[in-house]
Amino acid sequence: MGGKDAIIVDDEADIEEAASGIVTSAFGFQGQKCSACSRAIVVKSVYEQLVAKVVEKTKALKVGPAAEFGVNLGPVIDDSAYQKVFDYIAIGKQEAKLAVGGGKAGDKGWYIEPTVFVDVPPTARIANEEIFGPVVAIIPVDNFAAALAVANSTEYGLTGAVYSRNRGKLEQARRDFHVGNLYLNRKCTGALVGIQPFGGFNMSGTDSKAGGADYLLLFLQAKSVAEKL
């Protein structure tokens, strides 16, 4: 039912790991996953360092036919998706700063460069609306509490991740980050089938978890019967 999934990067995070997690989550499957990272929310004291690493890793990605060895991104699913992503890239250029990507990848096919916007306001459309393509918005915040507030500010609530070495902040995220699937010090995609039941809150679902016992009830119909004796 959609998502606008966020990875929070704390000022006590492993920045290398966080950057790798953002790039993998944002651009795997061309960003065409409900759990894809479409927002990175970063505490300002490590913001420039994190952005530099994300840009470096994004530039190293290869776009091309999925059958070719070494390709990281294939085409988006169809022309409608292709046009929609470029519509949002155009919006992003008005709202924030384009750091890398933003163009077509080749002359044929629905190939789009992996795209990173930086200095994105939390209220921007690219920070709130689901794009479902290879676009990530990086949002600077003052502190960890502000990061959680921004992460929870969309109508969605599917997946999220937090990178921090501070156990207290991880426990705070466990309590306050309002998503159905939360990952600590790892990327926000790749739930393990049969191990991690999957489902979200708000416009991302009813919290009934695929792979969980409560999911079976979605295939049943409840009937209330009253009889006067």
Question: Which sequence spans correspond to the domains of the chain?
Answer: 5-191
Q: Which CATH class is domain 5-191?
A: alpha beta
Contact 209, 215 (CB under 8 A): yes
**Which residues, in sequence order, are CB contacts of 225 under 8 Å at separation 6+?**
none
- Within a 10 A sphere around the Cβ of 163, how many other Cβ atoms? 28
**Which residues, in sequence order, are CB contacts of 174 under 8 Å at separation 6+?**
182, 184
Distance CA 25, CA 54 (A): 12
Per-residue pLDDT of 36-61, as tens digits, reads 999 999 999 999 999 999 999 999 99
Per-residue pLDDT of 61-111, as tens digits, reads 999 998 999 999 999 999 999 999 999 999 999 999 999 999 999 889 999
In single-letter form, the type of residue at position 100 comes to V
Distance CA 101, CA 79 (A): 19
**pLDDT value of residue 16:** 98
**pLDDT value of residue 207:** 82
* pTM listed for this prediction: 0.93
